[in-house]
């Protein structure tokens, strides 16, 4: 679920109650033994998923090239003519202040990965931690407090929350990231909590406790690794949500503050399309669409591979 869904604003902008994904996770498997290998095998046979992954890797390489200074460095120069067409100098033309669209699109790939990775990793970790504690101490005050925090975040409209965080942080470049992390963890936590409650009653966990493993060791060494399949899938879903949310937030002036992004390019294009200038719009939205689509395909097949009982 992403912010791009105001028709269901109950989940507006957050990973709200989406598909009733049921992770009927693996048994007492720890680490990288056969269930995971089986999943990898299954994943590799999934043509659409592999296509998605290949595209994601190409994008990641583009982003890496920008970080390493190989390309996409001239994104801010306004030296070109305004709204130039396609030429050898400006492969995809220029925007309304003469910036090179091709370079901006490349640079934006880096921005997208930065936002996606930061938000996906941190919010998934936060969700895993809080969900695990909540599930492990289910029914105690620890659980209650975490559930309460989740409920409160669910009851505040997403973009109002982001706007509030942005203003509270007075234009901090990370305000958007922080706001997304602070809201996107809730669904991961819900899934992890359910799984942990199931896992902690299983034999191998009781056995670990019986041989004297401390509760924290049990939780982090024996239980949490078994929620890996949830975290991987959630990570990909949050990545997509983050880069989709960026577009809307950038349009509202709450998004990317430094550099450029597809969201900023599309926002710029709102002033161009009514004058018949479509290049900025087409390039940014196509670049973004392909990446999001590829990620969605990969995410779906990852879910299929990791969750043997998922309904198709």
Partner 1 sequence: METLQYTLRKLITGLPLLFGVTLISFALMVYFGPDLTYELVGKNPTQEQIERVQSELGYDQNFLVRYLDYVREIVTLDFGQSFSTGEPVADLLARTVPVSLALTLPGFILGNLLGILLAQIAAWNRSGWLDKLIMGGAVVGMSISFLVVIIAAQVIFSSSYGLNWFPVRGWSVYSLADYLYHVAVPTLALVFVSLGYNTRFYRAVFVEEMSRDHIRTARAYGTPPIPLMLRDVLKNSLIPIITRIMFSIPMIIVSGSLLIESYFGIPGVGKATFDAITTGDQPVLKAVVSLTAVLFVLVLIINDILYKWVDPRVSLK
Q: What share of the chain is helix, strand, coil (3-state, %, to 5)?
A: 65, 0, 35
> Among the candidate windows 54-62, 106-114, 195-203, 275-283, which touches partner 1 by CB under 8 A?
275-283
CB of 164 to partner 1, least distance (A): 4
Tell whether residue 296 is a contact of partner 1 (CB under 8 A): yes
Tell whether residue 311 is a contact of partner 1 (CB under 8 A): yes
Measured distance CA(240)–CA(242) in Å, rounded: 5
DSSP H helical segments within 156-174, as ranges?
Answer: 158-168
> Collapsing DSSP states into helix, strand and coil, what is residue 94?
strand
Radius of gyration of the chain (CA): 22
Task: Write the CB contacts of 3 (distance below 8 Å, at least 6 apart in sequence).
Answer: 12, 13, 14, 158, 159, 241, 244, 245, 248, 249
Q: Contact letters (x/-) for partner 1, 146-175, by CB under 8 A?
A: --xx-xx-xxxx-xxx-xxx-xx-------
CB of 74 to partner 1, least distance (A): 25
Identify the residue whose tokens are 């809080």.
130
CB of 254 to partner 1, least distance (A): 9
Query: Which residues inside 237-256 make contact with partner 1, applying CB under 8 A?
Result: 244, 247-248, 251-252
CB of 289 to partner 1, least distance (A): 6
Which phi and psi (to 5°) does residue 81 adopt?
A: -70, 160
Which residues of this protein are in contact with partner 1, per CB under 8 A? 1, 3-12, 16-21, 148-149, 151-152, 154-157, 159-161, 163-165, 167-168, 244, 247-248, 251-252, 263, 266-267, 269-270, 273-274, 276, 278, 281, 285, 288-289, 292-293, 296-297, 300, 311-312
């Amino acid at each position: 679920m992403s912010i791009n869904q105001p028709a269901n604003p109950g989940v507006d902008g957050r990973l709200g109650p989406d598909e009733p994904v049921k992770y009927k996770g693996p048994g007492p498997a720890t680490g990288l033994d056969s269930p995971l290998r089986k999943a990898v095998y299954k994943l590799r046979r999934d043509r659409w998923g592999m296509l998605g992954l290949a595209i994601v890797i190409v994008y990641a390489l583009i982003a890496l090239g920008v970080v390493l200074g190989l390309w996409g460095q001239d994104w801010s120069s306004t030296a070109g003519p305004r709204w130039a067409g396609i030429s050898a100098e400006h492969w995809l033309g220029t925007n309304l202040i003469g910036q090179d669209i091709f370079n901006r699109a490349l640079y934006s790939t880096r921005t997208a990965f930065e936002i996606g990775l930061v938000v996906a990793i941190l919010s998934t970790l936060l969700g895993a931690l809080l969900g695990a504690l909540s599930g492990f101490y289910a029914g105690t005050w620890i659980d209650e407090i975490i559930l309460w925090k989740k409920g409160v975040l669910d009851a505040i409209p997403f973009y109002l929350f982001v706007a509030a965080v942005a203003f509270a942080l007075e234009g901090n470049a990370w305000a958007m990231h922080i706001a997304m992390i602070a809201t996107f963890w809730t669904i991961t936590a819900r899934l992890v909590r359910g799984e942990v409650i199931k896992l902690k009653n299983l034999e191998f966990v009781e056995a670990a406790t019986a041989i004297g493993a401390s509760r924290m060791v049990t939780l982090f060494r024996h239980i949490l690794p078994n929620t890996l399949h949830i975290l991987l899938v959630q990570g990909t879903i949050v990545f997509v949500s983050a880069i989709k949310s960026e577009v809307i937030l950038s349009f509202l002036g709450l998004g990317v503050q430094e550099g450029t992004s597809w969201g900023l390019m599309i926002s710029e294009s709102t002033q161009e399309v009514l004058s018949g200038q479509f290049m900025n719009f087409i390039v940014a939205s196509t670049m973004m669409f392909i990446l999001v689509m590829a990620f969605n395909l990969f995410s779906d097949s990852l879910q299929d591979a990791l969750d043997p009982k998922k309904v198709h």
